[in-house]
Structure 1
Amino acid sequence: MPIKPVEPVEGAGLEEPTPDTGPAPKRRRRWLRWTLAVTAAFLTLLSGTALYIAYIWQPSATHYDSPYMAQIESRYVDTPVATFHYTKTGQGSPVVLIAGGGMWVYSYRNNIRALTKDHTVYAVDLPGQGYTTLKQRGFDYSLDAMSGALSSFLDAVGLQRSALVGHSWGGAWSLYFTERHPERVSRLILIDSTGLDIPSTWDWRPLEFPVVGELIGKLMTKDSAAGVLGKAFAKPGSITPQTVDEDWAPMSRPENRRALWMSQRNLDYSVTQNLMGQVHAPTLILWGGSDRFDKPSEAADMAQRIPGATADVLPGCGHNAHEECPDQANPLMAGFCGPVEGETTARRRE
């Protein structure tokens, strides 16, 4: 008798999987929830700490008995913008020296004497530099703000017209002041100067980002600052421990730290570049041939844009060419400024 095939019953042998409700899966789910909770808490704590450091916490300035400050005759003059720290040496037509970002009058220690033969030399710390104390609230370190600060200093010390020497960011501030106030500048010397509308190197670009820039500036240490300073020189051994200490002590001041990220964000070099054709003061551009921050080719580019400007590239010198190579820089600076007939210091108002 034939065997009748058994019809398959729908679903037979295909049992629905039942939820795995054993102890192991429960432990895995608890572990996952715990991990996510801990991660979220950690990220919240990390973000909160970063925001606290960036916008509330202030680092303490480093105390340092500066041998250089003990050697020079520091002067101070009050304006609505700031109480400016500066030095004044020599006799003759005025020359005002402006250091680069994060630096101060110490930067010109190897140059002042060479200029005092024929000039009264003013070396000034602008807001965010050295031992000048900012007073103006809401100061944003833009070109207009720094030009206004320089103008207030010149007014306070009685200078209606002078030669300007500016290095790096200080060059851009000097250039913009010359563009806006041509009647007040007799000569202009730019040393490894910013001012062209080109991207910054990656050494500075992180300062442009909110929170990141504040963290970099506030958490900067003497060692990290020394690393940046070292890149500004080309020759091994150009930087001594005293050089690091002299630069770091004022740089560690909270307002001077703030000036770094504010300047990087607010200096608009499209403005300085567009106005270069309006510079009528005789202009000398000096550049270190081994500058690792700004390309030496920028000297010629800048000279082509400024009417009558001349450019000299100093072989083997870094970004701080005047500081590292005074034997090359000083004759060029002194020769360019020269003894100037009819240009004397205005009535002293200090």
Structure 2
Amino acid sequence: MDADIRQLRLRTGITVPCLVQDAGGAGTPLLLLHAWGESRTSFDRLVPLLTGCRIYAPDLRGQGDADKPLSGYSLAEQAEDTAAILDALEAPYAAVVGSSSGGYVAQQLAVTHPDKVAALVLVGSPLTLRGRPAFASEVDALADPLDEAWVRESLAWFPRIHDVPAWYIEDRVRDALNMPAHAWKAILNGLCEATPPTESGTIHSPTLLLWGGQDNLLPRTDQETLAGRIPGAVLKVYPNVAHLVLWECPGRVATEIIGFISPVG
């Protein structure tokens, strides 16, 4: 499979790297949006399983190897960055897969740029992030350079039921340490201060929701409400999986994605 990392200069004023992998597929391309505090490499266990797909996996503003300016982190601005990524790739549309908060950005993109979202797969994605989670006070106290011990302790915010490879955990630690304190704070604030996308508009893209039944962050009632707000949306529950669905079962996620977007492509 041909793959390369492209440096994309976006119309929103920043530069982001993007994995572009062309497996020779002629169908709808896949845009993968990572969670807060991660990077495009959080999809390293998923991408090899998405056979026959054209894949775009960028680092998002403030994270990974993307530019890390002091501003531009509202939910609306994060969605505009995502639209600009597709423009820079000369891709008029894509099926969009969002992991955790990446799915929140994907929802906003589907509301503000419906023509760009051929389908939507939300993997442990919130209905709302209004308010501030219990760990927000820890984020408020962050200063550069980040304390590696704190980063490792923060992984306990989201318990895991299934084993995750040690190398993958170490990659996530590196992702976190690669983010300056201002980006940690600004991204979380941008998510928590935003009007939930499904309250500001309607998502018309075909949508699949994947949710872990042991999620300690997102209640099932919220997932059912989110699915109910998106016409025709399908909610699939993995009973013995927690919040980090992508981390715990990338194989199942890949199968779900391919099966869901194939009719679209």
- The answer to whether the superposition gives a TM-score over 0.5 is yes
1:131–1:250 CA contact under 8 A, matched in 2: no
The answer as to 2:67 corresponding to 1:133 is yes
1:147–1:176 CA contact under 8 A, matched in 2: yes
Question: What corresponds to 2:48 in structure 1?
Answer: 113
Cα deviation for residue 232 of structure 1 reads 2.9
Aligned identity (percent) is 24
User: Which one-letter code corresponds to 1:146 in the other structure?
Assistant: Q
| Counterpart secondary structure, 1:317 | coil
Cα deviation for residue 236 of structure 1 reads 5.8
Cα deviation for residue 319 of structure 1 reads 1.6
The answer as to 2:242 corresponding to 1:318 is yes
Match of 1:330 among 251, 254, 257: 254
* Uncovered stretches (5+) of structure 1, i.e. residues with no partner: 1-71, 208-212, 342-350
Matches within 5 A, 1:81-92: 81-89=13-21, 90=23, 91-92=25-26
Consecutive aligned runs of 4 or more in structure 1 exceeding 4 Å deviation: none
Question: What corresponds to 1:218 in structure 2?
Answer: 144
Question: What corresponds to 2:30 in structure 1?
Answer: 95
Matches within 5 A, 1:1-350: 73-80=4-11, 81-89=13-21, 90=23, 91-92=25-26, 93-117=28-52, 119-134=53-68, 139-196=71-128, 198-204=130-136, 206-207=138-139, 213=140, 215-216=141-142, 218=144, 220-235=146-161, 237-240=163-166, 242-255=167-180, 257-267=181-191, 268-276=193-201, 278-338=202-262, 340-341=264-265
1:163–1:188 CA contact under 8 A, matched in 2: yes
| CA RMSD between the two structures | 2.2
CA distance in 1, matches of 2:42, 2:94: 20
CA distance in 2, matches of 1:133, 1:266: 17
2:126–2:223 CA contact under 8 A, matched in 1: no
2:40–2:57 CA contact under 8 A, matched in 1: yes
User: Which one-letter code corresponds to 1:218 in the other structure?
Assistant: D
Write out per-residue CA displacement over residues 20-52 of structure 1, whole angstroms, 9 at most, x where no aligned residue.
xxxxxxxxxxxxxxxxxxxxxxxxxxxxxxxxx
| Counterpart secondary structure, 2:226 | helix
Question: What corresponds to 1:58 in structure 2?
Answer: none
| Counterpart secondary structure, 1:193 | coil
CA distance in 2, matches of 1:190, 1:224: 28
CA distance in 2, matches of 1:224, 1:206: 9
CA distance in 2, matches of 1:106, 1:152: 20
CA distance in 2, matches of 1:149, 1:233: 30
The TM-score normalised by the length of structure 2 is: 0.87
* Uncovered stretches (5+) of structure 2, i.e. residues with no partner: none
How many equivalent pairs are there?
Answer: 258
Write out per-residue CA displacement over residues 64-104 of structure 1, whole angstroms, 9 at most, x where no aligned residue.
xxxxxxxx743322224222112112233211000000011
Alignment CA distance shift 1:197-1:245 (3 Å): closer
Alignment CA distance shift 1:315-1:217 (3 Å): farther
| Counterpart secondary structure, 1:96 | strand
1:217–1:261 CA contact under 8 A, matched in 2: no
Flag the structure with higher helix content: 1
Cα deviation for residue 264 of structure 1 reads 2.1
CA distance in 2, matches of 1:314, 1:199: 27
Cα deviation for residue 286 of structure 1 reads 0.8
Cα deviation for residue 132 of structure 1 reads 1.3
1:205–1:264 CA contact under 8 A, matched in 2: no
| Structure number with bigger Rg | 1
CA distance in 2, matches of 1:131, 1:138: 15
